[in-house]
Amino acid sequence: MKYFSIHLYRKMLNCAIGEGMSRDDFMNLPTPINAIDGLQVISADEFLALHELLDDKLGPGFGVRVGQQMKIEDYGVLGLSWRTCSRVGEIFERSERYFKLLSNTFMWHVEVEGNLSHVHLNREAKRRGMELSTEASLSATVVVLQAMSEKDIAPIKVAFKHGPPKDLTSYTAAFNCPIEFYAPHYAITYETADLQLRTAKADSSINNYLLMQVDEKTKGIKIPGNRFVQDVEALIKDGLPTGIPSIQNISSLLAMSNRTLTRRLADAGVTYRDLIKKTQEHIAKTLLQDHNNSVGEIAFLTGFSEQSAFNRAFKKWTDQTPSEFRSKH
């Protein structure tokens, strides 16, 4: 492990100030509070040392309390991708892809066991700061999943590999479920049905489209071909951070067969493969013009599992490398 997002470092500092510390308390850090603007990452050593410092200063459970205050936008590009998930549990698939591509911070893995899904956070806690950071991550999971679903879904159980703190008040308030310490894995368990829920955004957009389909079938109001293509493009864009969506995935979202989807696209003069390429290229060109996005992040948002594969594809599309394109825009 080498680094963490500066968004998470900033969040810890702001939460500590909210609990009574002052900006002056953070002026002598290796990366002081007044030097974080413009940074994208912070070293793992500094990040974990801050967790340890604040747990000592503000008492057991500070990391858990930080997790409870996390918002989706605090996760930067990864959080941006969460907003377009079609179902709640998809955030773990996107997180796994993101960290494989851009970091070696940690890895999520969902193990489905009947009506329960165990969400493992595979981390080796070689120091106390890592234990505290893991507590923050699992605590944040609770509030992020509720925000994604806009429903009061709650975990069934949470497990930590390390031992319990002296005071469990923050833990019981955050998780409101049985908590296991000295467990074999870091994990948080949900009902499988809760992770299969439509996200609030997906539920709204898909329902609107299905209502249009009802009008088409019952009232003869034909959905224009260009509108249909735009809707498919939007679904492809939303799905790319999980990987290139299959035609089966998109057709199921639209409540139609693969054959019907293919025919409707053909009527509009395009193929599904055309739309994948067009959407990827458009997203890539747009994001490359914003220099706040790294090429690795753009590769993630356009569905690639490796930055090198993205570079090759972009060169094929434009006869330029991503860096060459960016330098001209």
pLDDT tens-digit readout, 35-63: 999 888 899 899 999 999 999 999 999 99
CA dihedral 234, 261, 90, 286 (to 10 degrees): -30
pLDDT confidence of residue 38: 83
User: Distance between CA 322 and CA 318 in Å, rounded?
Assistant: 9
User: Distance between CA 285 and CA 290 in Å, rounded?
Assistant: 9
pLDDT tens-digit readout, 262-309: 998 999 999 999 999 999 999 999 999 988 889 999 999 999 989 999
pTM over 0.75: yes
Between residues 101 and 188, the one the model is more confident about: 188
Region 184-190: mean pLDDT is 96
Phi, psi torsion values for 39, nearest 5 degrees? -85, 150
Phi, psi torsion values for 222, nearest 5 degrees? -70, 130
